[in-house]
Chains A and B, each alone.
Chain A
Amino acid sequence: MSLARRIFGLTAAVGLLSQLWACSSIEPWVKPYERERLADPIMAFDRNPVSSAYMDHVIEVRSASRGGSGAAGGGCGCN
């Protein structure tokens, strides 16, 4: 089996599988009308974005690690 055919077959499989996974209507196991708890503000990942952006900044300035929180950076030459 040639490399070209292998690549084509893999791309087709990935493309069609992603179509299946992402775009077709697989039955959700939590129905839309069962989402009342998840819709509660206390279940939001970021209830107060301005406050959490500030805390993320304080933490990032005082440590070496960055990223992985889904928050965007910002510049600061803080001493």
Chain B
Amino acid sequence: MLTRWTRLGLMALTTVIFATTAGAAADQPAPGFSLPARGGSTIDLSQYKGQVVMINFWASWCVPCRQEMPLLDSIYKKYKPLGFTLLSVNVEPDQKDAESFLKQTPVTFPVVFDAKSKVSGLYNVQGMPTTVFIDRKGNVRLMHVSYKAGDENLYMDQIRTLLRE
């Protein structure tokens, strides 16, 4: 006969199992989107079909995001000629802070503004920064949350793997 406490414990256990299996969107088609870009134009994800795409969700108030920006720029310059592109998605409602950060830390890759958090929601962003790797067929292959020193090597490994396909 199950005591009240043991039943409660089992309920908690099953909830835990269900909760922890709620997962990320690996190996599924990357959700499409179209966002205003820096400089005034509009960028649509579909225009990069056939290339390896790395989407980086960032904000100027996020310290690790700011730290990885110059490294992302070198990665972009290195792999762009090989069919790679880096799409930087700024998640702030006001573009003013992003623009003033980019003035101090210039980058050469395209930056788009997700002011209403539509795309962040679509990609189920779980932390800042979040880096998404999309293969040439348009499928999400890896989602990496946060940045610490050395992660840029992880990024480059993933890019090389996807470029070879």
Q: Which of B118-126, B135-143, B156-164 contacts A (4 or more CB under 8 A)?
A: B118-126
Interfacial residues, chain B to chain A (CB-CB below 8 A): 3-6, 8-9, 12-13, 15-16, 19-20, 22, 57, 59, 61-62, 91-93, 97, 114, 117, 120-121, 125-128, 130
- From A10, A24, A39, B16 is in contact (CB under 8 Å) with A24
Min CB distance, A26 to chain B, in Å? 6
The answer to whether A62 has its CB under 8 Å from any CB of chain B is: no
Contact A12 to B127, CB < 8 A, known contacts A20-B16, A33-B91, A33-B117: no
Interfacial residues, chain A to chain B (CB-CB below 8 A): 1, 5-6, 9-10, 12-13, 15-17, 19-20, 24-26, 31-36, 39-40
- From B5, B93, B97, A10 is in contact (CB under 8 Å) with B5
Q: Is the CB of A31 within 8 A of B5?
A: no
Min CB distance, B40 to chain A, in Å? 23
The 6 closest A-B pairs by CB, nearest first: A9-B5, A33-B91, A16-B12, A24-B19, A39-B61, A13-B9
Q: Is the CB of B121 within 8 A of A31?
A: yes
Residue from B5, B57, B93 having most chain A Cβ neighbours under 10 A: B5
Closest chain A residue, CB of each to CB of B18: A24
A6–B5 Cα distance when bound, in Å, is 7
Q: Is the CB of A31 within 8 A of B125?
A: yes
Q: Is the CB of A34 within 8 A of B19?
A: no
Enumerate 17 A-B pairs (CB-CB under 8 Å) in ascending A order.
A9-B3, A9-B9, A12-B6, A13-B12, A16-B9, A16-B12, A16-B16, A20-B12, A20-B15, A20-B19, A25-B20, A25-B22, A33-B59, A33-B125, A34-B117, A36-B59, A39-B59
Chain B residues lying within 8 Å of A20, measured Cβ to Cβ, are: 12, 15-16, 19
Contact A36 to B125, CB < 8 A, known contacts A12-B6, A20-B12, A26-B19: no
Chain A residues lying within 8 Å of B130, measured Cβ to Cβ, are: 32
Q: Is the CB of B3 within 8 A of A5?
A: yes
Contact A33 to B12, CB < 8 A, known contacts A9-B3, A9-B6, A40-B61: no
Q: Is the CB of B5 within 8 A of A33?
A: no
Chain B residues lying within 8 Å of A9, measured Cβ to Cβ, are: 3-6, 8-9
